[in-house]
């Protein structure tokens, strides 16, 4: 019998500087519009559609999206002023 080799896991390193990436979580939706959606659902709460709108807004509020950030490059980007 032949032993199977596991594929090497790809390390999460920055392609620019080689530093290890850190995992951060953000909300992919704008909180302002989610609150508007929840308030609209509350205004229509006497109808069945209002309760569905509120439930959808609360579901969007809890959604989180992970992404990987290089602390070295991200720190450089904040220190460098952007010119418009």
pLDDT single digits (tens) 14-61? 887 877 888 888 888 888 988 888 888 888 877 778 888 888 888 988
As beta bridge partners, residue 20 has 13
- With beta carbons less than 8 A apart as the criterion, state whether 51 and 45 touch: yes
Judge whether residue 79 has pLDDT over 50. Answer: no
Per the CB < 8 A criterion, the answer to whether 33 and 80 are in contact is: no
- 16 within 8 A of 67, measured Cβ to Cβ: no
The pLDDT score that the predictor gives to residue 46 is 78
pLDDT band of residue 84 (cuts 50, 70, 90) is very low
């Amino acid at each position: 019998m032949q032993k199977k080799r596991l594929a090497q896991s790809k390390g999460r390193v920055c392609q620019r500087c080689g530093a290890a990436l850190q995992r951060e979580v953000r909300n992919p939706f704008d909180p302002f519009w989610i609150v508007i959606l929840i308030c609209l659902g509350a205004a229509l709460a006497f109808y069945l559609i209002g309760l569905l709108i509120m439930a959808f807004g609360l579901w969007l509020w809890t959604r989180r999206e992970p992404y990987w950030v290089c602390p070295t490059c991200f720190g450089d980007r904040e220190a460098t002023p952007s010119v418009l």
